[in-house]
Every structure is written in structure tokens, then in C-alpha cells.
Amino acid sequence: MDPYQALANAIVEVAVQDYKTALKYHYRHPDRREYADEVSSLERFFRSGWYGMLTNLDGELLMNGVRRMVRQEVAA
């Protein structure tokens, strides 16, 4: 794999992990503004041109999938 593509994949992977963590905290503590701010910041990244340069994955679909997964984990 091209080293630049590997780096791009790693950036997206870390952002997904950060998004999962931020959503879990936000769902468990909806009154904490810093968690909502972190979720918003990561959602801006997934909708950004920078994200589009890193991958062809649809950011909206990715976020929806992560949200579904986190809701199931938090509800369990």
C-alpha cells in the first residue's frame, strides 16, 4: 500500500474512534457542553474537504453507521 494512503487511512480510522468515544460520552452526559462540542467538531471533519481528500468513503454514511453502533452499545 502506498504510504500516503496508509497515512490517510490511519487519520480516518483515528477520527472514527474519536467520534465513537465522543458520542458515548455525549449520550451518557447530554448536559456536558464539551462532549457536544467534540461531536460537532468531528462531524465537521467528516463533512470537510480535507476528509474528502483522504478517502472516498461517504462521511454521512460513516457517521450514521457509527451513531447506530454507539446507540446499541450505550443501550446495552
What is the per-residue burial (b if ≥16 Cβ within 10 Å, else e) of 9-23? eeebeebbeebbebb
Average pLDDT over residues 39-53: 97
Give the Å distances, CA to CA, from 47 to 3, 16, 71: 24, 13, 21
User: Looking at residue 76, what is its pLDDT?
Assistant: 75
pLDDT at res. 75: 85
Percent of the chain with pLDDT over 90: 93
Cell of 43: 462531524
pLDDT of residue 1: 77
Question: Is the pLDDT assigned to residue 52 strictly greater than 80?
Answer: yes
Mean pLDDT of 28-35: 94
pLDDT at 24: 96
Q: Return the domain boundaries, the chain.
A: 3-75
